[in-house]
Amino acid sequence: MQKFGTVRQFPIGLSHDARMYSCERLNKILADTQILYALYKKHHWLMRGPTFYQLHLLLDKHAGEQLELVDMIAERVQTLGGVAVGDPRHVAEITSIPRPPDGAEEVPAMLSRLLEAHETILIESHDAAARTMEMGDDGTNDLLVSDVIRTGELEAWFLAEHLVDTPLVHA
Ligand SMILES: [Fe+2]
């Protein structure tokens, strides 16, 4: 059995230390991304209010995009010789995104919760992208910048636009 937190030797031109470091950073982002995916599904189901249909569809689209990222991040960990975090109970031990209430929150609270989860992942990803590039792991840097960060930023924009004040009439 290969233990979690170790890397196998792969001839891909990256040092053991660089691969270990990238896998550790990626597994944290992978855990948080799996939680974000689950949060999107929860809020897709629990959505309510006058914009129910639009948000119901939007959150499901974002869930699908996050699920693709989950697969890409996990397979990057494996490419580096590591072990990707997969079991939801293991994910729960690693993530730093707070657990939401089991019940249904107000709509702005749901959207804010998703935005905060995005920001947690974005802050981590910017730092991890810079550090992994310093260590020579350009592939991980590219995944974080081109996929995780760009997708996260775009989704955060679409969420945030639902939280601005939109007065019906300006006299
Ligand atoms: Fe659905």
| Domains defined along the chain, listed by start | 16-160 (1.20.1260.10)
Q: Is 129's pLDDT higher than 90?
A: yes
Q: Quick one: pLDDT band at residue 170, thresholds 50, 70, 90?
A: low
**Predicted pLDDT of residue 165:** 74
Residue 54 CA to ligand 1 centre (angstroms): 12
**Predicted pLDDT of residue 45:** 98
Q: Quick one: pLDDT band at residue 164, thresholds 50, 70, 90?
A: confident
Q: Is 44's pLDDT higher than 90?
A: yes
Residue 43 CA to ligand 1 centre (angstroms): 10
Q: What average pLDDT does range 140-144 have in this prediction? A: 98
**Predicted pLDDT of residue 169:** 75
Q: What average pLDDT does range 67-91 have in this prediction? A: 98
Share of the chain above pLDDT 70, in %: 97
Q: Is 131's pLDDT higher than 80?
A: yes
Residue 63 CA to ligand 1 centre (angstroms): 10
Q: Is 126's pLDDT higher than 80?
A: yes
Nearest CA to 127 out of 111, 145, 109 is that of 145
Mean pLDDT of the chain: 96
Q: What average pLDDT does range 140-159 have in this prediction? A: 98
Residue 61 CA to ligand 1 centre (angstroms): 10
Residue 30 CA to ligand 1 centre (angstroms): 23
Q: Is 166's pLDDT higher than 80?
A: no
Q: What average pLDDT does range 2-27 have in this prediction? A: 97
Residue 39 CA to ligand 1 centre (angstroms): 13
What pTM was computed for the model?
0.95
Residue 157 CA to ligand 1 centre (angstroms): 22
Length of the chain: 171
Q: What average pLDDT does range 25-38 have in this prediction? A: 98
- Say how far apart CA 125 and CA 143 lie, in whole Å: 10
